[in-house]
Structure 1
Amino acid sequence: MPIQDSSPLARPAGSGRARGEETRRRPRPDDTGTVSRRTSRGLRSERLAPYVLVAPALLIIVALRLWPLLLGVNFSFTGDGERNGMMVGLDNYLEMFQDATFQSALRNVGLLVLLLPVAVAIPGLLATFIYLRVPGHRFFRSVYFFPAVLSPVIVGAIFNLMLAFDGSLNTVLAVFGAGPVDWLGDPDVAMFAVVGVQIWATFGMALVVFLAGFATLDPALLDAARMDGASLPQTIWHVIIPGLTRTIQFVFVTTMIGMLTSMFGLLYVMTSGGPEGSTYLPEYYIWIQQGQMNRPALASAASTVLFLIMLVVGLLQISVLRRAGRED
């Protein structure tokens, strides 16, 4: 019979090493606590990292944007002149809304809202033609963006010459037998003329945004539309517009903000708010009250109203465009 070796030296090969490794791998109670603390610190650091990175930008926004905005709102409830520094409640707002000039400025804001789709559709269509590589698209891309680099003062001076009663535009109309139009002197026409110049001068930036949006559009969708025999209007309505919903939202909001806050140069050079106050906008009214009438509190009230208008119009535009996107 084979003799079984029961001595402790008779063990399977490698068993001692395996047990030793298992012993070394098994963490001691102190090691387990240290590892868990290190893990929790790492997770906490990962959670705090985004807030640490965003904090400087937030501090800048609060210090340079929100805090001055709150100070301006508070200042709008104080008086001017003899009542300087005194709290007057809503007197500035009541006086402002009773001012015929400010009422004209609010009506012009409504006109800008109505003309906003045109201001967005023009660069959108031009970007579509460039994306579809119409003949000469590289040349047109440069030409369309050129007005965006011009100063509003230069643009206003150029169009003052073109839109004058004896200017080049009326000369061209006379060739076709049309009577001269007082583009900048007729209260019913002047605002449309200034808005048209504003659209021409600024649509280059919207064009660039649309071209960036086209870079995210799936070319396979356009190829499928062509294979299905879709016309250009059908392709734009059913393929391009749904694919650029977020881009269109961005252009709508930024274009509206630009029209409300960056037309001062054109208004000052082309019409100076006239004729008969027909081309006033809130920003021009603010400058008149602050710079010429020396009424900073009333100007602060107008600034607060302008901020609320931009906020409400922007939120309404986003909600309407989102709803349209869901329906499509």
Structure 2
Amino acid sequence: MPIGNPPPQVASEVLGPAGSTARAGVRAARGRRRGNQRFHRADRLAPYILVAPAVLIIAGLRLYPLALGVNFSFTGDGDRNGQAVGLDNYSALFDDPLFTAAMRNVGLLVLLLPVAVAIPGLLATLIYLRVPGHRVYRGVYFFPAVLSPVIIGAIFNLLLAFDGPANSLLGAVGLGPVDWLGDPDTAMYAVVGVHIWATFGMALVVFLAGFATLDPSLIDAARVDGASIPKVVRHVIVPGLSQTIQFVVVTTMIGMLTSMFGLLYVMTGGGPEGSTYLPEYYIWFQQGQMGRPALASAASTVLFGVMLVVGMLQLAVLRRSGRED
């Protein structure tokens, strides 16, 4: 008879009850091991299952339309509708003075972004430090965020009119009137200023939420050491709110590039002389007024690329400054 493991029946007769108990223990251990493997496999899959609905929604409602828009930007308008035209639309964009003016205004928005972020950050700091009346200020500062851009634009059209209250106030202090919305050199600054006033309430709320995560003992320790408020802000508050600042910078930039259409339409209509055009207003003009959807898609693609590059550069700068602090 060949030497080897005895058959189960023979092993049971030789080993008796002890052998049966051993085999039962082995089977139980194998079952536990298989159960643990299934549990760990399910544990690894759980995050993917949880994020799958959000990913599907983003892919279906954001990424797929984006891909369609990019593809559409390489087709023609009018008589060439549906025909592949290569980069003709992009060439036409950068030959259009209105689009180049819109891109220059994007550069202006990037330069003014620190102001748009610093204002709500400073006001949130004052509220957090409980200046007198801070509860009232919290509601007052947020109130413009609930108003319609159309209403805000109409109000400031009256305030900034050539014979309006703003110029009357300047005249009272001996300064000449300013054509706020009729001068190409000042119109864009006026619209951006109104936009910052109308929207900084949301950034203020985000900053206040960030302050809720800040350890107050750090500020107390800095005050005990005799640090002034500017030093507390620079060395304690700003590093502690670095993630919040990054979020506000990116969302504010996106808002300035994609949420000013209402103000532009009501306050200036893109004028004077196209000086207040932004890419989103240009996209609407080409799509809705000129009937050139392919050219509008090309402008949308350029705007998306600009927002992506600017956002990544801003995050890189903020992360580097946070590490240096």
| Fold shared by both chains (TM-score > 0.5) | yes
1:134 alignment counterpart: 131
Q: 2:158 aligns with which of 153, 161, 174?
A: 161
1:190 alignment counterpart: 187
Tell me the CA shift for residue 90 of structure 1.
0.1
Q: 1:316 aligns with which of 295, 313, 318?
A: 313
Could you say which structure has the larger radius of gyration?
1
2:275 alignment counterpart: 278
Q: 1:38 aligns with which of 18, 29, 35?
A: 35
Q: Render the CA deviation track for 1:81-103: whole Å, top value 9, x for unaligned.
A: 00000000000000000100000
Q: Render the CA deviation track for 1:103-128: whole Å, top value 9, x for unaligned.
A: 00000000000000000000000000
Q: How does 1:77-96 map to 2 (within 5 A)?
A: 77-96=74-93
Cα root mean square deviation, aligned: 1.5
Give 5+ residue unaligned stretches, structure 2: 1-16
Identity of aligned residues (%): 75
Does residue 56 of structure 2 align to residue 59 of structure 1?
yes
Distance across 2 between alignment mates of 1:30 and 1:242: 57
Task: Kindly provide the amino acid, as one letter, of the partner of residue 50 in structure 2.
Answer: L
Give 5+ residue unaligned stretches, structure 1: 1-19
Q: How does 1:164-313 map to 2 (within 5 A)?
A: 164-313=161-310
Q: Which moved more, 1:43-52 or 1:133-142?
A: 43-52
Tell me the CA shift for residue 131 of structure 1.
0.2
Q: 1:107 aligns with which of 101, 104, 107?
A: 104
Distance across 1 between alignment mates of 2:235 and 2:46: 42
Q: Which moved more, 1:58-67 or 1:230-239?
A: 230-239
Tell me the CA shift for residue 26 of structure 1.
8.2
1:149 alignment counterpart: 146
SS of the residue 2:271 aligns to: coil
Distance across 2 between alignment mates of 1:264 and 1:157: 14
SS of the residue 2:226 aligns to: coil
1:98 alignment counterpart: 95
Distance across 1 between alignment mates of 2:101 and 2:162: 24
